[in-house]
A = this chain, B = another copy of it.
Amino acid sequence: MLEIAEFGHILAPQRYDAQLPKLRARLLAAHFALRARKFPVIVIVSGADGAGKGELVQRLNEWLDPRGVETHAFWEPSDEERERPEYWRFWRAMPGRGRIGIFFGSWYSTPIIRRVFGKIKAGKFDAALDRIAGFEKMLTDDGALLVKLWLHLPKKQQKKRLKKLEADGRIAPGDWKHFKLYEEFTAVSDRALRRTDHASAPWHVIEATDRRYREITAAEILTTAIQKKLDDTAPQPAVTTAIRPAASVTKKLKGDRSASILAHVDLTQKLPEAEYSRQLAAQQTKLSKLAWAAHDAGRSMVLMFEGWDAAGKGSAIRRVTQAIDPRLYQVVGVAAPTDEERAQHYLWRFWRRLPRAGHTTIFDRSWYGRVLVERVEGFAVPADWGRAYAEINDFEEQLADHGTVLCKFWVHLSPAEQLRRFRERQHVAYKQYKITDEDWRNREKWPDYQRAVDEMVSRCSTEFAPWTLIAGNDKKFARVQILKTIVQRLDAAL
């Protein structure tokens, strides 16, 4: 793709001066219009050393409204960044809807540099590019506008630029070293561009020899892209649009409940009191030690609890937290998102709570809300929850790649047992706050939820992040099972 950008484009000063005011006015107008339309714009500025990326970023900042734009450079990661999966630093830099984020360097930098210097092989490089393509698709599917600019310099021009930078004392260490690898850089970058050039997130290669040409071209691309998106009459992803799942879905399931994955959970399993006390204590002691061992080893852990209402998630979490030093864990109760969270992709609120090295985050309900309650209640349109499976799998793979120990629990129970517990809650004074009308409504949708759970478990039970189905009719049995699973997984990881 890069060879096309060696035409020798130059923009004469008079033409630059003539074009600029109108272009700036259009760009600024688009930026203001963006606020009301509530989608984020992510501008990636990449390209060759000495191609003027810094100057371009500075110019864009000058032309945009400073209060609506933020620039992020990704230098050496901080220790807080190193302790999380690689993409954490990009997630934390994401602009909210209505804002522009300029990414000076991005998720492309590390794979390209590692590939050029032979630190990763072709296969791993391609895998990294596929992850990028998936990540970008996820962003654009969610409504984000991604504008990817690549500033290309022909070899002779780069040499000239580096000499000039050197004369000005502004050359970066490593620039000449990179120059010697010009061909490798070009080949690797070219592959990166081709493999991540999709209709929803296309690359724009800009010949960077002439400052005026590259600035006007970049601003023109950005302006046009924002305007096009603003004019786009396609509906924005409507998180709150109530589209009901097709009735047939429900019917089909009702007739064939035995087909459910959950039917394979043996709900008759029980643990007598004495045995429970003994096993609980034993597992908690193990977990307590393992949690400190994980801390010392810098391994982090994510525990995630989903399940039917009244399945005993809360009391199971308590048995887990009893065993872990409170300095080592945080419990995140997933309720309505805050407005900062609503301004971002739905996974953002989970990314932001990922634990530091050696720590644990416990999610009471989770990112699976997208394919459970949001699906069943029609809060997410089918296109949204439909693609969530792949997004979630990628998210969890990143956790696994980072070495985070991830346990995902679905606490199952029978409709009859749920009914018994609902009634108990209604009749015991200090449990009344735990039962609401919503619980009864959800209960009526059992078949819909069951279908959603089936699909979720089958599509998101991966080798790196398997689902664990817990038999919850007997709370004691469930708690010990959960503890045993965590202990086992943690022990295997350390």
Contact = CB atoms under 8 A, between A and B. Distances in A.
A442 interface: no
A45 B80 CA distance: 25
A338 interface: yes
B430 A327 contact: no
A73 B327 contact: yes
A62 B330 CA distance: 13
A367 interface: no
Secondary structure of the A contact surface, majority rule: helix
Interface stretch (A63-71, A203-211, A381-389): A63-71
B364 A66 contact: yes
Nearest to A56: B326
B318 A62 contact: yes
A66 B338 contact: no
Most buried by B among A66, A78, A339: A66
Give the bracket for the number of chain A residues in contact with chain B.
Answer: 35 or more
Q: How many copies does the complex hold?
A: 2
A57 B321 CA distance: 12
Contacts of A364: 66-67
Contact of A71 (B58, B66, B327, B430): B327
Interface string A315-328: 00110011001110
Contacts of A338: 338-340
26 contacts: A29-B430, A32-B433, A54-B326, A54-B327, A61-B321, A62-B318, A62-B321, A66-B318, A66-B331, A66-B333, A66-B364, A67-B331, A67-B333, A68-B333, A69-B331, A70-B330, A71-B326, A73-B327, A75-B327, A78-B78, A78-B356, A80-B80, A104-B327, A339-B339, A339-B340, A340-B340
The 8 A-B residue pairs whose C-beta atoms are closest, nearest first, are A67-B333, A73-B327, A71-B326, A66-B331, A61-B326, A57-B326, A339-B339, A338-B340
